[in-house]
Structure formats: C-alpha cells, structure tokens
Structure 1
C-alpha cells in the first residue's frame, strides 16, 4: 500500500471532505447499492478527487464500514430509552416505522457483501446482536417469562418487516406490530393495566 493510500487526513479541506464522502456514500449505497457504486462516482457526488478519498480512507471497504458505523449507535433511543412509555409499550413502539423507510442498511450491506469477514459484515452482525439485546433488556423490564426468546423473536420480526417492506413496496410494519403484540401478550403473563397498545 502506498503512502498516499495510507496517508494522513487531508489538510486542505479537513473534515469537510470526509463528511461529503460519507454523505455521498449514504446516498449512493441507498439508491443503487454498494457494488454498483464506484470510487469515481463517489468522488463526483462528494465533489472531491479520488486522491482526496484515499487521503481519508484506505479503500471502499473502509468507506462501507464507516458508512454503517454512522447510523444511530444508541439503537432507536427514541423508543428504547423513552421514559413516557412502559416497557411493554416500548417493545411495540419499535415497530412504528415510517412507511417510506429504506431497507435497513445493515441488512442491505450483509446481503451485498457475502463475506462474513468483511469489516462491514462484522459491523452489521454486531448491530443486529445489539438490537436483539435491547429488545431482550426491555422484555425483561416488562416481565417476560423468557426475555431472551422474546427479544430474538422481535428482532427477527423487525428484520422481516424491513425486507418485506422493501421487496413489496408496501408498509409491512403495521402487520409486524400486530404480530409483535401477540408475541408480547403471550410472553408477559399479566400485562399491567393501562399499558395496552395505543
């Protein structure tokens, strides 16, 4: 690897160029996928030269991995950490997704890359495990008899709804939320009064 490829962060444009590269990657990966996005196109959309890209990143693999790391590290904090909702309500509120939500970027990357050792595949795996853990923690707070099982079920249901929404171009999250409510009711023997689905 050349010194240019390893190189220090660009001095002339600073973080501005890096942010433009990552913003361009988010747009292009979402619109046309990872494989169809070339470095020349990425540079054109980000308005930087290929040389500048390599001053910030060692290559496309690193851009893909950093692209995924930029997504919410707190894992839907507006839901899981909401004090206004009971734990049971939080489990269901996770399925209140916008109808125009694009396919989960972690699923999209894992499907396209095929390589379990790719840094982005590892990031996607860690994210999916963390989502299931947040569901499990919340299920435990809600009094589920088997919080680990409920957490895995809800995480799987969320991924399925995301893929089905993308494939059929219709919102599958309301149906997923109804299924989630059945799972939650079955897993939590006594639902506290006042915590029904709103």
Structure 2
C-alpha cells in the first residue's frame, strides 16, 4: 500500500503530488506570472500541503526551473519532427502557433517570461531559458540547411528573432502577430533558399 498524505483540506491525496504541483505552476505562471504566484496559492491549486511542495521542490527557484524544462522538451517537435512536410514547410510551421481556444491572443513565450521576471542571468531558470532559445535557433538552422539555404546560420537566427519578436509583440499589443511573422518568414526563407523562388 502506498503512503498517502493529507492535503490542505484534510483529504487524502496520495501519489501524483509532483505532477499536480507542476500542472498548477503551468496554469498560474502563465496566467499571473512567476512573481505574481505565491507558494500558498500554488499549493492550494495543486491540492498539496506546503510541506509536500517543499519535499518535491526545495524552493520556488527549483520549481520554476523544472516548469521550464518540461514546457517544451522536444523543442518545437510539432513543427520540426513532422515527416509529412518539406524542410521549407517545417520552417514555416514553426510560426503556426496553436489556437489558445479562447479570445485571448497567444501568451508570451514562457522562456521569455521567465528570463524577464527572474532579472538574474545566473538564475537556473534563466539558464534553461537561454539553452532553450539556443536549441530553437539550432533547430531552425538545421532545417534551413536541409532546405538548401545559402547561409543556414543566418536564416536560423533571423527566424528565431522573428519568433521571439512575434511573441513579445502579441503580448504588448494584445493582438495576434504570428500571421504577420509567418508572412515575413516566408520572404526571408524564399530569399535564402535559391530554389524556393524558382
């Protein structure tokens, strides 16, 4: 028999506390920001005691870092791992952001959010964000190379910057900017891949 714990309301919670904490962090960090989310609220939403939360994550810094690590472990695999698309189409697919299902525009990239909120470039979450952004640029570069770009590194960096700019602009203007970014990406791609315009 597994050892069970009692949650804040005295109900038996059992296993899965770590996943509930991470699920609550995904919801609350996206809705309220990292700094706007307290551990008391996070524990209430996850239905765990603070003691349990701190058993799984020694502090909020560790929780934020793990939240980022798990957010997109495949580094945009929905775009880059598609075998039904050509490399050029995969580059454009990176700009196809899934609809949020609400009237709200696409939320700001969680990695940008975390880097801005942490303020400390040495914070572990800032490092995870930096590594993720480098991985996205590397995947864009690799796909640009497959597509036949004359300078895949340059195209990869341009597209990475365009993705981040679309995310930030969407947040600031409260209006979806990814369709415009996709149109700009198509021009950049066609200019960088000699055969694409032919």
Question: Structure 2 length as normaliser, TM-score?
Answer: 0.88
Q: Which residue of 2 aligns with 1:12?
A: 4
How far off its partner does 1:90 sit? 0.8
One of 144, 154, 163 as aligned partner of 1:139: 144
Partner of 1:122: 127
1:95 corresponds in structure 2 to: 95
Moved over 4 A (4+): none
In the TM superposition, residue 15 of structure 1 has moved relative to its aligned partner by 4.4
Instruction: Tell me how many residue pairs correspond in the alignment.
Output: 184
| Distance in 2 separating the partners of 1:176 and 1:72 | 21
Match of residue 30 from structure 1: 30
Which of structures 1 and 2 has the larger relative contact order (alpha carbons within 8 angstroms, sep 6+)? 1
Deviation, structure 1 residue 192: 7.7
Alpha-carbon distance between aligned partners in 2 of 1:114 and 1:15, rounded to the nearest angstrom: 34
> How many Å apart are 1:172 and its aligned residue?
0.4
Deviation at residue 12 of structure 1 after TM alignment: 2.8
In the alignment, structure 1 residue 64 sits paired with structure 2 residue 60: no
Mean alpha-carbon deviation: is it higher for 133-142 or for 38-47?
38-47
Q: Work out whether residues 61 and 125 of structure 2, in 8 Å CA contact, stay in contact via their aligned partners in 1.
A: yes
**Structure 1 stretches lacking a partner, 5+ long:** 1-9, 194-198
Q: 1:99 touches 1:170 (CA, 8 Å); kept in 2?
A: no
Consecutive unaligned residues of structure 2, counting only runs of 5 or more, are 6-13, 101-105
**Structure 1 Cα separation of the partners of residues 123 and 15 of structure 2:** 25
